Structure 1
Amino acid sequence: MAWRFAASKFKNTTPKLPKKENGEEDVVGQMMYVDDQHDDGNSHLRHVAGGQNLENSDVDDKETHVVTCKLKIHTDTIFDLPVGNLSCTNDGIHASADFLAFHIEGEGGKLGVLPIGAKGRRTRNDIWIIAAHGEQVSDFGFMTYADQLLATCSRDEPVKIWKLSRDSSPQLATEVNVGAGVVTECLKAHSTADNLLAVGSHNSAYITDISTKRVAIELTGITDKVQAMGWSEDGRLLAVSGDKGRQIVVYDPRANTVPIQTLEGHGGMGREARVLFAGNRLISTGFTTKRIQEVRAYDTGKWGSPIHTQEFVSTTGVLIPHYDPDTKLVFLSGKGTNKLFMLELQDRQPYLSHVFELTLPEQTLGATVGSKRRVHVMDGEVDTYYQLTKNSIVPTPCIVPRRSYRDFHADLFPETRGSEPGCSASEWLSGTNAAPPKTSLAPSSSASPPPPEPMPPQQAAVAPPRPMSISSNNVPNGKDHHVPAPRKEEVRELDYGVYEKENGAVRSTAKTPSAETNSTQGNTSPLTTNSPDPITVVSAVGAPKATSPPVTGSASTSSVSTPLTVGPAYGEKPKEAPVNFRKPIGASNRVPLSQRVRPKSCVVGQITSKFRHVDGQQGTKSGHVFSNLRNVNTRLPPESNGVCCSNKYAAVPLAGLGVVGIYDVDAPGKLPDGVMDGIFNKATVTDLQWNPFDESQLAVGTDCGQINLWRFSESDGPRNEMEPEKQIKICGEKITSLRWHPLAANLMAVALSNSTIELWDVSEGKLYSRFVQHQSGILGIAWSADGRRIASVGKDATLFVHEPATAEQKVYERKSVVESTRAARVLFACDDRIVIVVGMTKSSQRQVQMYDATTVDLRHIYTQVIDSATQPLVPHYDYDSNVLFLSGKGDRFVNMFEVIYDSPYLLPLAPFMSPVGSQGIAFHHKIKCNVMAVEFQVCWRLSDKNLEQIVFRVPRIKKDVFQDDLFPDALVTWEPVTTAARWMSGQESAPVFRSLKPDGVFSSIPRPIAASVRHSEMPTSSAATTPSSSATPSTEKQTSSTPSHPTPIARNMQSCAVESAHTPDRQQVAAAWSTKIDLDTRLEQDQMEGVDETEWNQ
């Protein structure tokens, strides 16, 4: 029987990062207190839940007090820990069902201990400290079936067993002396037997019985020191990684003291390596010869070569693996990086299937996975991942999404290994293979509750709110009607309303949510905002119900950051409005968005992108690949993107002085052997760009200050004999970047090594403009989509936005935008309202920063760390879908985000993964995409030996209709709008937008369809003609003399009346579908056989 696809229950497992605030979160809400005048003459304030309808209550005739306050919500993160910078070669942190043990800073081998339920701030005085050894702790770990026993080892001391308790300090339980002169490097508790511990040393390993304090078995045949060990699930086999990860040996300790299998490990000589059993697979992590993280999987039923090999990131930190046998999930977290990879172990290819990739807020120093007996099953939590950073422990629950968590999902939580061992150490050594009993995770089972937190320093209890000063007016007596609070299950999504900024103060036109409602909301944005100012208590005596003005379509403001909700000012009369449980899609809290439809949606309170399930199809599957590629130039300057392509050709820099290979993208295949053919520029190539309006013209910049223009055709002979069509001598300085103008033909911006940017008409060889703003070299330049501005970032860590076509040559500046000046890129996004800077930190973290292009000070909006690597990220932005592609040299991944002009600013999409690293990526124009196959980008990815095509598409079922929600009118980047002379003279030309819908194809959503229409010629609605605040940069101190930016591009949709004649109605759509279906007009009774006429007479 053929294999059928069966979806895994855990394929959608998603880790949820806890709140990042330091111990508490400021939540602004409303609490209403009613002053009840009792018979005893005393006033009593009773709390009425904010946000409830009080029209029919007795609150109307009493004196009410609206109090705006801040709630404190404790976080799940443990912070302010004295961890510091670790230099250990172990996992750094371990967890049992009761305790967490982790490395801390200080002389000697010290460990910190906390219970599983610990949260919030924990300083050195708030944790238990184990002074385990005099030197650095080599390894440590909990005993499998004794949650209170912690084993530690060091190089020159015996193995020690510590007993932990919630009521007293850790005590030394016992010591096991492995042998005189034995240097212990690592240890691992047995998986099925109690009191059995494997200890690794140099060239040997030992099986010790801690109950008898002796060595039971000594294993030999290991090369160099032992770096990691792992027991099989049945406890019969022991795997040992030695020789810096290049050797893996497998023992059956009770059968023989020599290895039963010796496997070839990783090729690199890493400082660390890991090995563990995962079902009937053996997983090993190490490094390749190129210092790239590598994972190998072996079949325990058929030892030999690995059945699966996968490379990850080029870094010096090893991948720490963990495995959950119940869900078959594999967790991989790299030391020194901020990435968590979740994979699923399968019985078929790919044996390790991608599940999730999580970007953590800080670098990982250690990682572990908690006990299954402590997961919150009623929340769908299948595992808890603990990350150790330099000052915190971040518990990350891994949730399987389900429609409801009211009932226990037994399919997600099978019976798991309990707290009782299968056998004792002596029984196992005598040959017993009894499996440990399993226990159910159902809430009705008799599982022990988690231990309470340790006794923290005594803190004063939170006092109830004090009575407020009230008026002396008499208030009628009334009964104390308590309004019930909302149920805990009700999760509300607040109406953010429309926010305006007046006189430097933020004002909300929407009703302020209640304090209790706010307590259930989580801020999904990773942006860290400043805490609000202290809120003053305002007593409104006898105030009427809250009123609010009608919500307008837009609001004028100078900020796009996440707004703070504040209560109504004193004296206002806001009316009560119903709470909107859904935030409008695409609505901005600050500046109104473009009128084109944004492909994002709100799912369960979180804004997600319609491109989130993007699928990248490699050319190896469709034959679109240039193979046998050789001598690729891997030493290009960091300012260059390397490979580039037009709709007809691809250019690849090759090794040699100025050699560039040219390949026809419509004729892929295997390249012939021999010397690689290519053009010669007679100088080192620094950058190269195809003319966007001439797919046969290539501009090549060199380090001698010269631009070579090449033209190609299908009739060209050997390209090594060709000469440039034209040569332009810029100056004697090195050319760092070339960028063609997006609208004007033959206009090019050239960045030079002497901090100069020049504008050239390459057809005439004429210099139009030169401007110098940077104090040192330029790292990257980029044009805005409307061609009015050009942004640049330099080694002086300064961002400049120039307007070269204006008479006053306006320049806007922002300092200190990058931390590391080794490399950076810049581009415009979101209809030219955002400037994105992609750079690196001094700790090699690659990050994306967003700045507001509508303000004169280029105000910082948001920063997100992508990952950690040695090579910079090269961005590409798709103007139509707002998707940002990020990939670096040597990366196997292409990270994608949808950029939005509102929090959370970057919506993550499914990353693209390739088995080999990349040398560069080049994208085609949008017209190259097959929109009927739901392709929204096509690119070419260069590796050491191949140049393959990658098609990015969105999975859709109905591909016979045009997907309007994914393909708005596309920005025409392949045809010029004006000339260089007209543009430099100040004649502005608007960009052109064109529909990609093929003729004769119906749309999935009725929408205006027009031919190439310019923005200035398109019919505008009333909303489009209204001046937008985004047209002019705004600041709090701006005056009329302050320079302003040009109006950003906006797609204006044509009116329905104009387009009604062009839009097919329902009858036309039904008729079109009917032509594809054979109509059967026969009736069912026509096929029935009746009786003979003579029979009716009988």
Structure 2
Amino acid sequence: MSRSIVRQSKFRHVFGQTVKAEQGYDDIRVSKVTWDSSFCAVNPKFLAVIVESSGGGAFLVLPLVKSGRVDKNYPLVNGHSGPVLDIDWCPHDDNILASCSEDTTAMVWQIPDHSLTRPLSDPVVVLEGHSKRVGIITWHPTARNILLTAGSDNLVIIWNVGTGEALITMDDHPDLIYSISWNRNGSLFCTTCKDRRLRVCDPRKRDVVAERMAPHEGIRPMRAIFTKDGNIFTTGFTRMSQRELGLWDPTNFEEPIAVLELDTSNGVLLPYYDADASMVYLCGKGDSSIRYFEITDEPPFVHYLSTFSSKEPQRGMGFMPKRGVDVTKCEIARLFKLLDKKCEPITMTVPRKSDLFQDDLYPDTAGPEPAMEPEEWLNGRDEDPILVSLRGGYVAHKSREFKVSKKNVLDSRPTTRRSVSTLDTNNLPPELLGRLLEELQNLKATVLSQEKRISDLENKLSQFTNGTD
């Protein structure tokens, strides 16, 4: 009798497993900043973790293959003058990372493929436009070079990082913004705010197109993410401080599609969404467990699957894009759990006996190619992500990533610089033009001589293998 009422799903038996100790990352001083971000970002090449540092803000970037104990002198990315609050890898270039900080700036970094040999303190671009700390940073899912930031000045700013300019500024939030999530094609984003409202915003119209007062009645922070079909999944607290989750149709905010009460823990639940499997993983700060659910169009719509538990509570969590999982082991997700002094990868696997590629587990997934340029998106175009097959794994298109990294941010910045130096010179007096050209030549000569001096000093430094920082 019980068999007939058990819901059929290929994800019912997903199980989580911590990798072997030597495959983790040890001796990482995870940041102790009291901010509800994940403190961790991963992609198929790198692990980035916000860490404790003196004299400003910093984060650690490790090639994924560099597991084990991290040298205490391992170079950090340390360009911020205040604590780093959030980091996000670019979905279209695995070597580009964005960070934001209490110092009111956001920065975009180019990370070399090899391990860092010295601290990285020169970002590709610095984005200055907020007047208070910047706590949220997230890339547009389908348009090249579009980046969103939100700060404690209650502003949302959308940037073109190729030119360093702010394209759109929105001031619709009267209080601190807790979370922001783009929809699948990047035409809308949803926000949760300290004023207890859930909003859906159209950035190109600079307008809030839908809002819901108190989707969760508690006063503690909420989180919201768009699902693949355009609904919104939320986590929050009841009036009695129970944690709960909800599923909402933004075209009809009156009644939830589903609401589910969980427990009385007080950690904010961070949701991580897998659009290919329509699954969501809930990781509470201070919890030692990860719950996962499947979202379907059948009642009760949000189906509890299982819980992965371990001994130590998590400080934060990173979620691997689908193209970074191991398809040969039927791995459908990989999370990176931050503890006080280390990071533990956790694999989520569907047990299968066959060694063949499992088509049903791995539909084509969002690839690294952007679907459009920033100007196209700004002018009103919408495109879903460009999909790639995972048959054969991620290795097949690794080389293509390098091409994208070369033309993504770095190629567009010199263009901007050239446009400054090619201002209308026809109207300049010949004497002034001559002086400008002469000064330009002198500056170029100075830069070349300094570059040679830096190179000589680096060569000398490399000879002292036992030198200290």
Partner of 1:627: 26
Instruction: Tell me the CA shift for residue 886 of structure 1.
Output: 0.4
- Is residue 304 of structure 2 the alignment partner of residue 908 of structure 1? yes
CA contact (8 A) 2:98 2:109 kept: yes
SS state at 1:868 partner: coil
Amino acid at match of 1:837: T
Cα deviation digits, residues 522-543 of structure 1 (max 9, x gap): xxxxxxxxxxxxxxxxxxxxxx
Partner of 2:360: 965
Cα deviation digits, residues 876-931 of structure 1 (max 9, x gap): 00000011000112211110000112311111112111122211111122111222
- Is residue 238 of structure 2 the alignment partner of residue 844 of structure 1? no
Determine which of 368, 371, 374 is the counterpart of 1:974. 368
- Is residue 206 of structure 2 the alignment partner of residue 812 of structure 1? no
Partner of 2:258: 862
Instruction: Tell me the CA shift for residue 660 of structure 1.
Output: 1.0
CA contact (8 A) 2:45 2:63 kept: yes
Instruction: Tell me the CA shift for residue 966 of structure 1.
Output: 2.2
- Is residue 126 of structure 2 the alignment partner of residue 732 of structure 1? no
Instruction: Tell me the CA shift for residue 842 of structure 1.
Output: 4.4
SS state at 1:890 partner: coil
List 4+ stretches of structure 1 deviating above 6 A: none
Determine which of 244, 262, 284 is the counterpart of 1:888. 284
Aligned partners of 1:676 and 1:870: how far apart in 2?
35
Instruction: Tell me the CA shift for residue 752 of structure 1.
Output: 1.9
Higher helix content, 1 or 2:
2
SS state at 2:306 partner: coil
- Is residue 108 of structure 2 the alignment partner of residue 712 of structure 1? no
SS state at 1:744 partner: coil
Amino acid at match of 1:862: A
CA contact (8 A) 2:147 2:159 kept: yes
Partner of 1:669: 68
Aligned partners of 1:620 and 1:632: how far apart in 2?
21
Instruction: Tell me the CA shift for residue 776 of structure 1.
Output: 1.2
Amino acid at match of 1:612: R
Cα deviation digits, residues 611-669 of structure 1 (max 9, x gap): 12112121226x4211233x22132412x221111221111111133021111112211
Partner of 2:7: 607
SS state at 2:222 partner: strand
Aligned partners of 2:371 and 2:199: how far apart in 1?
26
Aligned partners of 1:647 and 1:965: how far apart in 2?
22
CA contact (8 A) 1:697 1:710 kept: yes
Instruction: Tell me the CA shift for residue 701 of structure 1.
Output: 0.6
Aligned partners of 1:955 and 1:726: how far apart in 2?
45
CA contact (8 A) 2:25 2:69 kept: yes
Partner of 1:467: none
Aligned partners of 2:105 and 2:293: how far apart in 1?
37
Aligned partners of 1:676 and 1:819: how far apart in 2?
45
Amino acid at match of 1:796: D
Partner of 2:193: 794
Aligned partners of 1:893 and 1:843: how far apart in 2?
22
SS state at 2:286 partner: coil
SS state at 2:377 partner: helix
Instruction: Tell me the CA shift for residue 992 of structure 1.
Output: 2.5
Cα deviation digits, residues 201-220 of structure 1 (max 9, x gap): xxxxxxxxxxxxxxxxxxxx
Amino acid at match of 2:384: A
Determine which of 950, 954, 957 is the counterpart of 2:350. 954
Amino acid at match of 1:847: E
- Is residue 385 of structure 2 the alignment partner of residue 985 of structure 1? no
SS state at 2:323 partner: helix
CA contact (8 A) 1:779 1:825 kept: yes
Amino acid at match of 1:844: S
Cα deviation digits, residues 37-91 of structure 1 (max 9, x gap): xxxxxxxxxxxxxxxxxxxxxxxxxxxxxxxxxxxxxxxxxxxxxxxxxxxxxxx
Aligned partners of 1:739 and 1:652: how far apart in 2?
16
Larger mean Cα displacement after TM superposition, 839-848 or 925-934? 839-848
Instruction: Tell me the CA shift for residue 851 of structure 1.
Output: 0.8
Amino acid at match of 2:241: S
With the length of structure 1 as denominator, give the TM-score of the two structures.
Answer: 0.34
Amino acid at match of 1:961: L
Cα deviation digits, residues 848-882 of structure 1 (max 9, x gap): 11111343x46422211122212101110000001
CA contact (8 A) 1:636 1:642 kept: no
Instruction: Tell me the CA shift for residue 961 of structure 1.
Output: 2.2
CA contact (8 A) 2:168 2:204 kept: no
Aligned partners of 1:608 and 1:615: how far apart in 2?
17
- Is residue 86 of structure 2 the alignment partner of residue 691 of structure 1? no
CA contact (8 A) 2:367 2:387 kept: no
Cα deviation digits, residues 761-789 of structure 1 (max 9, x gap): 11111111122222211111100012111
Partner of 2:271: 875
Cα deviation digits, residues 825-859 of structure 1 (max 9, x gap): 11011422x1011112343321111111343x464
- Is residue 155 of structure 2 the alignment partner of residue 759 of structure 1? no
CA contact (8 A) 1:679 1:719 kept: no
Determine which of 736, 750, 759 is the counterpart of 2:149. 750
Determine which of 615, 618, 635 is the counterpart of 2:18. 618
Aligned partners of 1:625 and 1:717: how far apart in 2?
19
Partner of 1:642: 39
- Classify 1:715/1:828 alpha carbon distance in 2 versus 1 (closer, same or farther; 3 Å): closer
Indicate the structure whose relative CO is greater, using CA pairs within 8 Å and at least 6 residues apart: 2
Instruction: Tell me the CA shift for residue 722 of structure 1.
Output: 3.3
CA contact (8 A) 2:210 2:251 kept: no
Partner of 1:935: 331
Amino acid at match of 1:846: R
Aligned partners of 1:704 and 1:998: how far apart in 2?
44
Aligned partners of 1:793 and 1:751: how far apart in 2?
12
SS state at 1:982 partner: helix
SS state at 2:276 partner: coil
Q: How does 1:338-417 map to 2 (within 5 A)?
A: none
Q: How does 1:235-384 map to 2 (within 5 A)?
A: none
Aligned partners of 2:171 and 2:6: how far apart in 1?
44
Q: How does 1:424-439 map to 2 (within 5 A)?
A: none
* Structure index of larger Rg: 1
Aligned partners of 2:352 and 2:120: how far apart in 1?
48
Cα deviation digits, residues 150-178 of structure 1 (max 9, x gap): xxxxxxxxxxxxxxxxxxxxxxxxxxxxx
Aligned partners of 2:378 and 2:73: how far apart in 1?
44
Partner of 1:289: none
CA contact (8 A) 2:244 2:260 kept: yes
Instruction: Tell me the CA shift for residue 689 of structure 1.
Output: 1.0
Structure 1: 5+ residue runs without aligned partners?
1-402, 405-602, 1000-1098
Partner of 2:463: none
CA contact (8 A) 2:51 2:59 kept: yes
- Classify 1:735/1:973 alpha carbon distance in 2 versus 1 (closer, same or farther; 3 Å): farther
Amino acid at match of 1:956: R
Instruction: Tell me the CA shift for residue 818 of structure 1.
Output: 2.9
Cα deviation digits, residues 946-980 of structure 1 (max 9, x gap): 2122211101112x22223322232x153211111
Aligned partners of 2:216 and 2:173: how far apart in 1?
14
Aligned partners of 1:679 and 1:752: how far apart in 2?
21
Q: Percent identity?
A: 27
Structure 2: 5+ residue runs without aligned partners?
394-469
Aligned partners of 1:719 and 1:941: how far apart in 2?
26
Partner of 1:439: none
Cα deviation digits, residues 655-684 of structure 1 (max 9, x gap): 133021111112211222x45641222212
Partner of 2:405: none
Aligned partners of 1:702 and 1:825: how far apart in 2?
20
